[in-house]
Chain A
Amino acid sequence: MIEVSHISKDFVAPKKYPGLRGAVKGLFSTEKVIKTAVDDISFSIDTGEIVGYIGSNGAGKSTTIKMMTGILVPTKGTCTVAGINPSRNRKENAQNIGVVFGQRTQLWWDLPLSESFTILKEIYNVSDAEYAGQMEFLNRVLELQDFFDRPVRTLSLGQRMRADLGAALLHNPKVLYLDEPTIGLDLVVKDNIRKAIREINEKYRTTVILTTHDIGDIEELCSRIMIIDEGRKIYDGSLADLKDTYGTRRKVSMEVKQPEKAKGLRLHEILGVQETACSMSFSPENSMLCVTFDKHRLQVPQILSAVMAVVEVKDVQIQETELAEIVKEIYNHGVGGKA
C-alpha cells in the first residue's frame, strides 16, 4: 500500500547568530544551514496494517508523514501511496488518504460541525448514500451526534478530536495518517478514539500510520512499530520482538523484615554474575529491596532463594520491563547499528 524508498528531507535555513550583534549580522549574511530532518528512510507497509511510528520530539516523524501526504516534497528518494506519488499528484493522493494532525484541526473554526461535514462531502465527492452510511457508522463509533450542530470553536478538545477523526474518515480513505491523535485527551476519550481506530481498521481494512508519544496507543493498536531517531530509522519490527530484544531486564521488589541485613547484601557475588546483569538497590524507609536483572542470565527463583537465604521476605512483586522504559532507553542511547 505504501512504499517509501531512501527518502530524505533537508531544510535550508539562513544561519542565525546569537545576540543583537548577531541579529544585525544575520541581515547581511547569506550563509545557510542545512538541517536533515529525515535521512534515507525506507519501508513498506501492507494494506490493513496499523503501524506505530515513534521517535522523540523532532526526530522527523511529522516530516515523514507530511511527505507521505504530499504536503512536503522529499529532497531525495521516492514514495508511493496506493500507486500514486503524493508530491507529484497531490490532489489524487488526497482523495485516497485521511489525515488527523492532533495539534491542528481541519474543520472550519467558525462553522457548525455539520457544515464542515457538508463541505467535506462536496470536496471528496461522496454520494448521498455513502454519506448517510458513513455518518451512521461514525456516529456509532465516535458519537458525533451530541455536538453535531455546534460551532467547532465551542467544542472541547476531546469532541474536536473525535470530530477531526470523523472528518478524516468521511470519504472512507484507504490510508489514514494520525499524527498524535490522542494528545491532551483524558483516559476515557483516549480509549474511545483507540476503539474507533481499531473498528475502522477491522471494518474497512484501512491502513493506519500512527505517530504518538503515548505508549498506550502503541500497545493497544499497533502490530508493528518503527522507531526513528535524528531522521534515521533505528527499529522496524513487531512489538513482541522489540520487547524481546530490548526488554531483557526484569525487576523484583521485595519487602524485607531485617533491613540492616539486606543493606550489606552483595547479590551478584552470591549468584556469580557481573554487576551489570544483576543490580540491586535498597530503600530503608519502606524496607524495599529492588533487584533488576537480565532475564536471559538469571531466573526469578534464583534471586529469591539467594535473598531469602540471608533475610526474611514479607512480600514479593515481579515486574516486566514496560515498553515505555524500553523506548526511553532507545531514545537515550540510540541503538544505532543493532537494529
Chain B
Amino acid sequence: MRKRLRIYLPFAANELKRQLAYKGAFYLFILVNLFGSFISYYLWMAIYGSSEKAVIGGLTQKEMVVYVFMVYVTASIVTASISTMVSDDVVKGTVAMNLIKPIDYRLSLIAMASGNMAYRFLVPSVFIWIGLEIYKIKVLGLAPVTVMGIFLYLTSCIMSFLIYVLFDFCFGMLAFFTTYIFGMRMAKDALLSFLTGQLIPISFFPAAMQRVFDFLPFSSMVYTPVMIYLGKYTGETLAFMMLRQAAWVVLLYVAGSLIWRQVTKRLIVLGG
C-alpha cells in the first residue's frame, strides 16, 4: 500500500501543479458554473414564491438555497473527468507511453483525478462552502452543520468521487472503439446533470422514475452527499445510502477491470 502510494502520489501532485499552471482557464470555468448556480437559485426562488406549498419535494425554500449551492460545491469536487484524459491519450496515441511503464493505467488516472479534486476542493469549493454556511446561519437562521455532519458528508463525497471516476473510466473506454468521444461526452454531461440531481433534486421526480434511479449509480454521485449534508438521511436510511455508495464503488471497479481487459486485447495505437 505504501509503495503504491509512493508510485501514484506523484501523479496526483503533478495534476495539482498542472492545474496551477493553467489557472486562468480554471477561474473562468468556476465563474461560469457559479453563474449557473445563481440562475437556478433565482429560478427556485420564483417557484417557491408562486407556490402555495411551503415544502416542495421534501425541501423547504431555505433548504433549497443550501441544496443549490451545495450541489455546486459537491459537483465541482466530485466530477473530476478522466474520460477526457483517456480520449486524449487515445487520439494522440500517448496511451502507449503509459503502457510501457510498470504502472496501472486506471490507478494513474484516478491519482490524477484526485489531484484535480484536491485542487478544486481547496480553490473554490471550500470558500463557497464556508460562505454558504455563514449565510445559512446569519440570514436563513438554520442550525450550523455538526462536526459529525461534515465528517459524513466528506466520507460520502469521497465515495461519490470514486463512483464518478470509476464510471467515467468505463465511459472513457468508448474512446478506444470510437476514437473521438467529444459528442458523447456532451451527451453524458447533459444526462448526468439530470440523473445526479444537479439540475433538479431527485425527490422532485415521479415515484416510478425514482425507483429506476435507485438502480443506477448516478444519484450516488451528487444527490446522496448533499442530502446527507442537509440532514435528510438519518439512522438506517443513512447507513443504507452509504452502503449503497460503497457497493457502487466495488461494482464499478470490477466492471472497469473487465472492460479494460477486453480493451487491451483489441487496442490500436494511433500514429506511428
Interface residues, chain A, CB within 8 Å of chain B?
A: 11, 62, 66, 69-73, 90-92, 94-95, 97, 99, 101, 103-106, 108, 110-111, 115, 118-120, 122-125, 179
Contact = CB atoms under 8 A, between A and B. Distances in A.
Contacts of A71: 96, 99-100, 267, 269
Given A73-B265, A103-B272, A110-B18, A118 B100 contact: no
B103 A91 contact: yes
A119 B14 contact: yes
Contact of B96 (A11, A66, A110, A123): A66
Given A104-B94, A110-B17, A11 B100 contact: no
B21 interface: yes
Contact of B100 (A69, A111, A119, A122): A69
A104 B92 CA distance: 10
B10 A122 contact: yes
Nearest to A90: B99
Contacts of A125: 3
A110 B10 contact: no
Contacts of B10: 115, 118-119, 122
A70 B265 CA distance: 10
A111 B16 CA distance: 11
A118 B268 CA distance: 30
Contact of A123 (B7, B18, B265): B7
The DSSP consensus for interface residues of chain A is mixed
A105 B269 CA distance: 15
A97 B3 contact: no
B143 to A, nearest CB: 45
Contact of B268 (A11, A95, A99): A11
B234 interface: no
A73 B10 CA distance: 29
A97 B99 CA distance: 12
Nearest to A13: B268
A117 to B, nearest CB: 11
Contacts of A123: 7, 101-103
B211 interface: no
Contacts of B93: 104
B134 to A, nearest CB: 37
Given A73-B264, A94-B102, A124-B102, A106 B14 contact: no
A4 B30 CA distance: 53
A72 B99 CA distance: 10
B264 A101 contact: no
Contacts of A106: 97, 100-101
A11 B266 CA distance: 9
Nearest to A72: B267
B96 A104 contact: yes
Nearest to A118: B10
Nearest to B272: A103
B96 A111 contact: no
Nearest to B22: A110
B99 A122 contact: no
B120 to A, nearest CB: 18
Nearest to B267: A72
Contacts of A90: 99, 264
A92 B101 CA distance: 9
Nearest to A11: B268
B104 interface: yes
A92 B269 contact: no
A105 B268 CA distance: 18
Given A72-B268, A106-B101, 14 more contacts: A71-B96, A72-B267, A95-B102, A97-B100, A99-B100, A101-B96, A101-B97, A104-B93, A108-B14, A110-B14, A111-B18, A122-B10, A123-B102, A123-B103
A111 B19 CA distance: 12
Given A11-B268, A122-B6, A125-B3, A70 B21 contact: no
B264 to A, nearest CB: 7
Contacts of B99: 69-71, 90, 94
Given A66-B96, A111-B14, A122-B10, A72 B102 contact: no
Interface in B101-122: 101-104
B14 A91 contact: no
B200 to A, nearest CB: 35
A143 B14 CA distance: 25
Q: Which of B14, B102, B103, B269 has the most A CB atoms < 10 Å from its CB?
A: B102
Contacts of A124: 101-102
Contacts of B101: 94, 106, 120, 123-124
Interface in B3-56: 3, 6-7, 10-11, 14, 17-18, 21
